[in-house]
Amino acid sequence: MSDNRPMVLGTYNQKKRSELQRLLLPLDIQLKTLEEYPAAIEVVEDGTSFAENAAKKATQQAITLGEWVLAEDSGLCVDALKGAPGIYSARFSGEDATDEKNNDLLLEKLADLPPEKRGAHYVCHIVLANPEGEVVLIAEDKCHGRIVRKRRGTNGFGYDPLFELREYHRTFGEMGPAIKSLISHRAKASRAFVEKLRVILAKNRALFAQEKN
């Protein structure tokens, strides 16, 4: 068995790869991104939930590439908006959406709601599929907070300048990456994923090698 087990992260985002690679180091996982695979496809995210979209990205890409593929889907759910923007978080303000436009629209929709009615949570759902496109592992976690009235902080991306963790009295935008990497929805889901993968590999150390021709 190779010392480095290959796994593809279903994204072109190198920051996400770097964050997850640190957690996978003890398992000798070599994490790659779609940039290294010219044959990678663009998966249509038309599922009705984070779980469906993550599964589609993992399974379809795995079949196409013939590799183990890890994919995640995440977003912001606001209580007062009945869970919106949810799976549409990245394109909340339309096809030409940007972080700025999305944040502006969110503030507009919440308008003058008091703090106690501005509850929200981030969700991250992670799926690992084998080269045959079968889902092997699932992990999910959340991070609860509320939406503040104006942007605070310049760190992070997306809705981070508006998402405040009540117990810290700070937004993700005001927190450095070191803190966020410990308490965010993606961080918690990633740790849960790694722990589940550790258990699977303890039972079958040759798992990855068996799937490769």
Active-site annotation, residues: 73
Question: Residue 74: is it exposed, middle or buried by C-beta count within 10 angstroms (0-12/13-18/19+)?
Answer: buried
Q: Compute CA distances 200 → 40, 43, 136, 205, 212, whole Å.
A: 27, 27, 10, 8, 17
10 within 8 A of 16, measured Cβ to Cβ: no
Q: 15 labelled as ligand-binding?
A: yes
Q: 170 labelled as ligand-binding?
A: no
Q: 158 labelled as ligand-binding?
A: yes
204 within 8 A of 1, measured Cβ to Cβ: no
Q: 168 labelled as ligand-binding?
A: no
Number of residues that this document lists for the chain = 213
Q: 14 labelled as ligand-binding?
A: yes
Q: Is 100 helix (H, G, I), strand (E, B) or coil?
A: helix
Q: 102 labelled as ligand-binding?
A: no
Q: 13 labelled as ligand-binding?
A: yes
Binding-site residues for Mg(2+), please? Answer: 73
Binding-site residues for substrate, please? Answer: 11-16, 74, 157-160, 180, 185-186
Binding-site residues, please? Answer: 11-16, 73-74, 157-160, 180, 185-186
